[in-house]
Structure 1
Amino acid sequence: MTTAGREAMARCEIGIDRIKCIIPHQANMRILKAVGDRLGATEEQLFSNLERYGNTSAASVAIALDEAVQQGDVQRGDLILLLVFGAGLTWGAAVIEW
């Protein structure tokens, strides 16, 4: 996920400092922290809802994005880095402007 995230930001010609919120697949806290560390993200940038819902599989990023918006962690115009991981060692990333 880290490589995909870096590639997505590079294609948008932005650095991690421009990203307001990183929403990775909510697999487990160890992975989330490792991804954040490898990207050079701050703790405030990394969104997690694992403690409330656990690993919700394919829905984890969508659920986390909705929660981040509802909590006010994401505002109009913010850049968000979405990081996904799936079965068969598939992964992807996207930078979106909310």
Structure 2
Amino acid sequence: MTGQRPRTCAACGRGIAAREVYYRFKLVLEGEQDVLDTPGGGGGDDLAALVRQLEEGPEDVRELEEQVHWERAGVVCTACRSVVVRMLAPSSENSGPH
């Protein structure tokens, strides 16, 4: 098998042999907010002030962008697939995190 790069599980870091089953994933987290808290009720001036505050703030632009849109893709091994599916599947028993 020439030309095939070894695959590594994005979750556990284990190498995945060419003969093993692996699973591709693409995960996109996009921030949303239904109501914007602005002092004056959300008028144009308030939004312009908020944009100005963000532009002048000390935060790194990339960090702010990742808070709104975060995307990753890769492969996981069979064992990690089970964990990911269990974490992301709705559960009627436990509504808490993890």
Please, what TM-score do these two structures have when normalized by structure 1? 0.24
Going by fraction, where is helix more abundant, 1 or 2?
Answer: 1
Please, what TM-score do these two structures have when normalized by structure 2? 0.24
Larger Cα-atom Rg: 2
